[in-house]
Amino acid sequence: MATVPRHEFVPPESAFAAYEDRALPIGEWETISQPYIVALMTDAAAVHPGDRVLEVGTGSGYQAALLSHLGAHVYTIERNPALAQAARARLERLGYGESVEVLTGDGSAGYPPAAPYDAILVTAAAPQVPPALRDQLADGGRLVVPIGSRMEQELQLIVKSGDKVRTEALTACQFVPLIGEQAWPKFGRSWLF
């Protein structure tokens, strides 16, 4: 994590807090996760060089940059076009353009054209595991996803083995909601209340 300059992935007015262990706003009512959670998710995903990884919820691009450093080819999908465009430009400027592909769309549906994935990391909370994401895992693939209500969730690790999946609870957490066809419906900012 020390190799990726987190201050490059937050707005200039938040740069003073970039290395504190807390989530920070990145605009568009979204946040960059706290470093502890990013590290926990990355470790749980057990990414190896050459892995094909899907990240759902690009945000500023920080997690995708970390996954790239581990030798993965990363497909990262963001529903907000402004965030996706800014992340794409940032990742290219910082030298991650060849190993990270930034897409715009409904991340709850995954990205079938590049499936199956060795690992999928979801940086927003869903009410249940989106079936499309589970289905896009390779055999032995790992899915790290926060599951629960809009205010309280549990970070889960799901490992696919043949037609079976094993679920492990990692920790309590609180993420912004995953908006999409296989997650929460979009209805403004009322998810905050």
Catalytic residues: 33
Neighbours of 161 (CB within 10 A): 11
SS3 state of residue 163: coil
Q: Please, what is the angle between helix 62-69 and helix 35-45, to 10°?
A: 40
Query: Would you state the structure tokens that stand for residue 5, as one six-digit string?
Result: 């300059």
Say how many residues make up the chain.
Answer: 193
CB count, 10 Å around CB of 185? 9
Residue found under tokens 């262990």: 21
Six-digit token string for 60? 């500023």
Angstrom distance (rounded) from CA 26 to CA 107: 19
Residue 16: CB partners within 8 Å, gap ≥ 6?
none
